[in-house]
Amino acid sequence: MKESEAKKAEDILKKYDKESDTMEYTGLMAKIVAAIAIAFSVFQLYTATFGVLDAQLQRGVHLGFGLALVYLLYPTCKSWSRHKLHPFDLLLAILGAAAPAYIIYEYQNLVLRAGTVSDIDLGVGLLGILLVIEATRRVVGLPMVCVVLAFLAYAFAGPYMPGVLAHRGLTVSQLVSHLYFTTEGIFGIPLGVSSTFIFLFILFGAYLESTGLGKFFIDLANSIAGWASGGPAKVAVLSSGLMGTVSGSSVANVVGTGSLTIPMMKKLGYHKNFAGAVEAAASTGGQLMPPVMGAAAFLMAEFVGVPYIDIVKAAVVPAFLYFAGVWLGVHFEAKRENLKGIPRDQLPKIMTLIRERGHLAIPLILIVYLLVSGYTPMRAALVAIVLSIVCSALRKSTRMKPIEIVRGLENGARNVLGVLVACAAAGIIIGVVTKTGVGLKLASGLLQLSGGMLLPTMFFTMITAIILGMGVPTTANYVITSTIAAPALVQMGVPVLAAHMFVFYFGIIADVTPPVALAAYAGSGISGGNALKTGINASKLAIAAFIIPYIFVLSPVLLMMEGSVVELLFSTVTALAGMIALSSALIGYLAANCLWLERILLVVGGLLMIQPGLLTDAIGLTLFGAVLAYQFKRRKSEAQTV
């Protein structure tokens, strides 16, 4: 990639991904920040190897490192210098480290006091909560801050709330004690997962990127699909799906792979709005792709109470259907526009790639094996981190230098900050929910609004998750919706895992849902297209993600939760046929250009095949088959006429 293109990609990433918009230190300050980040990673690796500390101690150290780095790397105002640390930010960085350190220093006394807080405790706790909220504003954004403040306001305004939302209200002392000095608030499950599994998996991803695995995935996708009709677009889908196993960020994935694939698509003949949309839809699906999914997947394992491998297993078929839907949309668009692939002689040879760089994928394969074998996610990630360094050394061309290994520690700590802060802020929300019981109240309200019917409840839950996802990272979005909306689905008889996967999916797909579709906007920034049109095209390509959650709620067999292998295969095949019908209807091409009536029949047939049931599947397949047969007949007739 040319230097100018790399700079453009970096600017786009900073514009649409707040986590990437950091200070640019040089000299001594850069070394100090690097030293803190490396110490953070070393602490995490040490506790993963020799055993984690008590919950509040482990999470306290984790939060202390995180807040210190946030205030050193993210300035108070955008207008402040990006090269020189402001004294105010230095003060906040010191306080950010000191507030959690107080819990570590006073840990025994706090345990003995058993929930009774002193005036000093109250002051430190209040400071800690405010520091978390301000860190959230800097790293995550104002929408998340507004949600947190709304919940805090509710905690105090309980006696003045109408009807079912009313509660006794909390004093400042009660709220601070609950949020800061228990494991029910800031130091709750989300931060606990961040301080163990999530950090190690993000560090693992940082090392995989350092080895050049991302470039290997793009070259591998080129060798597999670059020659096909619409080849570069299919390369984008494949490479983004593979990169999604490493990167949990939609925007970062768009910029990382899109910088290479989007120019290739435009050169082939794809419109710039469609080229950006392909990368956005494919990159967003990366968080749905096992084995290393987005950070929210680790939280789901804790909330649902199942091993992480069960989340991975449940995600396999839906992820396959999602990427199949995007692939089909790309294929039909290529056929409609008669777009060719890249000549085979210009593409890398697959066996050569595997021979020269295939060893880089060994850690990814191993981590799946370890998870299936019963290893804890933390232990599996730890082994995989070591193996990623060892495997890179198998060939001189991929070998990591000692300085690169050290930089991997720094990058891992930097990459975790967004998730860390989102988890801490989500802990505030969970703390208010557990203290006031508002979660069940809102779930009951959702059920009343939907009249106690499943489909309307699912629809309102979907809208809630998408709206929250437009301004809140997936991790925080999942925490909120799993606390508020998922219980409503569970009360309707939906299996717990299916309910949580439902809100997880729609929180992620918000990244390509206009009007705030950050992944699509990043794609349009690279392609030079219109942001809104790119978002609309991305939504069309990602249509599977809007439908698949309804399928696995109505038919949990797709999550491998129940049913036989035959039922799973049948449900997968009919769902895939439904994806083909819907994708062709939205693009306007199946075996030939679609007439309006054909598009309507394909939509109806696709939706019927998605609805579980032999009758609906039979009618859907009949409609789909009729349109396909008629198009083949029409195409043959047109060819004879010519």
The answer to whether 527 and 270 are in contact (CB under 8 A) is no
Q: For residues 144-152, give the mean pLDDT.
A: 91
Q: Taking the CB of residue 625, how many other CB atoms lie within 10 A of it?
A: 12
State percent of the chain over pLDDT 90. Answer: 29
Q: What is the DSSP letter of 86?
A: -
- Two tokens at 209? 């990127």
226 SS3 class: coil
The Cα 207–Cα 410 span in angstroms is 10
Residue 84, CA atoms < 13 Å, CB-side half-sphere:
5
Q: Which amino acid is at 341?
A: G
* One-character DSSP codes across 314-340: HHHHHHHHHHHHHHHHHHHHHHHHT--
Which amino acid belongs to residue 379? R
Contact yes or no for 166/157 (Cβ under 8 A)? no
pLDDT digits over 389-399, tens only? 999 988 888 88
| The token pair that represents 229 in the structure block | 């009709």
What DSSP element (H or E) covers 246? none
Least confident of 51-55, 283-287, 297-301, 494-498: 283-287
Phi, psi of 593, rounded to the nearest 5 degrees: -60, 135
For residue 159 the two structure tokens come to: 């006696």
Q: Please state the rounded mean pLDDT for residues 244-251.
A: 65
Integer Cα distance of 338 and 230 in angstroms? 8
Residue 231: closest CA among 242, 244, 218, 214:
218
pLDDT digit string, tens, across residues 588-608: 888 888 889 999 999 999 888
> Dihedrals φ, ψ of 395, to 5°?
-130, 145
Which range scores top for mean pLDDT: 319-323, 410-414, 478-482, 556-560? Answer: 410-414
User: In degrees rounded to 5, what are phi and psi of residue 170?
Assistant: -120, 150
Alpha helices in 555-613 (DSSP H): 565-587, 596-610
Residue with tokens 């295969």: 569
- 611-629 pLDDT, tens digit per residue, is 767 888 899 999 999 999 9
Q: Looking at residue 265, what is its pLDDT?
A: 83
Number of residues written out for the chain: 642
Task: Indicate the range of 80-84, 118-122, 415-419, 469-473 predicted with least confidence.
Answer: 469-473
Average pLDDT over residues 449-460: 85
Give the burial string for 199-211 (b: 16+ CB within 10 Å, else e): bbbbbbbbbbbbb
Residue 57 pLDDT level (bands cut at 50, 70, 90):
very high
Cα separation, 490 vs 492, whole angstroms = 5
Across the range 562-576, mean pLDDT stands at 85
The answer to whether residue 1 scores a pLDDT higher than 60 is no
If one compares 10 and 568, the residue with the highest pLDDT of the two is 568
CB atoms within 10 A of CB 626: 13
Q: Which residue has the tokens 């163990």?
A: 196
Task: Render 17-49 in DSSP notation, one character per residue.
Answer: -GGG------HHHHHHHHHHHHHHHHHHHHHHH
First to last CA, the chain: 45
CA dihedral 267, 271, 276, 281 (to 10 degrees): -110
Average pLDDT over residues 212-230: 80
Q: What is the C-alpha separation between 213 and 357, in angstroms, rounded?
A: 8
Dump the DSSP string for 482-534. HHHTHHHHHHTT--HHHHHHHHHHHHHHGGGSTTS-HHHHHHHHHHT--HHHH
| Predicted confidence (pLDDT) at residue 577 exceeds the cutoff of 70 | yes
> Both tokens of residue 523?
């794609």
Residue 261, judged by CB atoms within 10 A of its CB (0-12, 13-18, 19+), counts as: buried
Beta-carbon-side half-sphere exposure of residue 223 (alpha carbons within 13 Å): 13
pLDDT at 344: 79
Domain range summary for the chain, segments of one domain joined by +: 577-641
Residue 571 is encoded by which pair of tokens?
């449900």
Is the CB of residue 443 less than 8 Å from the CB of residue 485? yes
Per-residue pLDDT at 211 exceeds 80: yes
- Give the list of residues 6+ apart from residue 108 with CB closer than 8 angstroms, or none: none
Beta carbons of 427 and 187 less than 8 angstroms apart: yes
Q: Residue 549 burial by CB count (10 A; 0-12/13-18/19+): exposed, middle or buried?
A: buried
DSSP assignments along 245-277, one per residue: TT---HHHHHHHHHHHHHHHHHHHT--HHHHHH
237: helix, strand or coil = helix
- What is the residue whose two structure tokens read 């514009």? 15
Nearest CA among 359, 354, 355, 378 for reference residue 367: 378
pLDDT value, residue 5: 63
The C-alpha atoms of residue 492 and residue 608 are separated, in whole angstroms, by: 23
**Residue-level pLDDT at 411:** 92
Assign 589 to helix, strand or coil. strand
- Here the tokens at position 514 are 């206009």
Instruction: Assign 115 to helix, strand or coil.
Output: coil
Which pLDDT belongs to residue 568? Answer: 87
User: Percent helix, strand and coil across the chain, each rounded to 5?
Assistant: 80, 0, 20
* 73: its two tokens: 């790397």
pLDDT of 268 strictly over 80? no
Whether 541 shows a pLDDT value over 90: the answer reads no
**pLDDT at residue 143 tops 90:** no
334: confidence class by pLDDT, cuts 50, 70, 90: confident
Q: 614 vs 287, 455, 618, 634, CA distance in Å?
A: 32, 20, 6, 30
What integer is the mean pLDDT of 276-288?
A: 85
Element (H, E) at 562: none
Confidence of residue 89 (pLDDT cuts 50, 70, 90): very high
The DSSP bridge partners found for residue 589 are 593
Give the pLDDT of residue 4.
Answer: 62
Among candidates 575, 623, 616, which has minimal Cα distance to 599? 623
Model pLDDT, residue 278:
87
- Three-state SS for 312? helix
Per-residue confidence at 6, pLDDT binned at 50, 70, 90? Answer: low
Q: What is the DSSP letter of 198?
A: I
Backbone angles phi, psi at 538, to 5 degrees: -65, -40
Tell me which range, 129-133, 204-208, 540-544, 578-582, is most confidently predicted by mean pLDDT.
Answer: 129-133
Q: Mind listing the pLDDT tens digit for each residue in 462-500? A: 888 888 777 677 777 788 888 888 888 888 889 999 999
pLDDT at 244: 64
Specify the pLDDT at position 636: 81
Q: Is the pTM above the cut of 0.95?
A: no
pLDDT score of 471:
63
The CB density around residue 510, as the number of other CB atoms within 10 Å, is 23
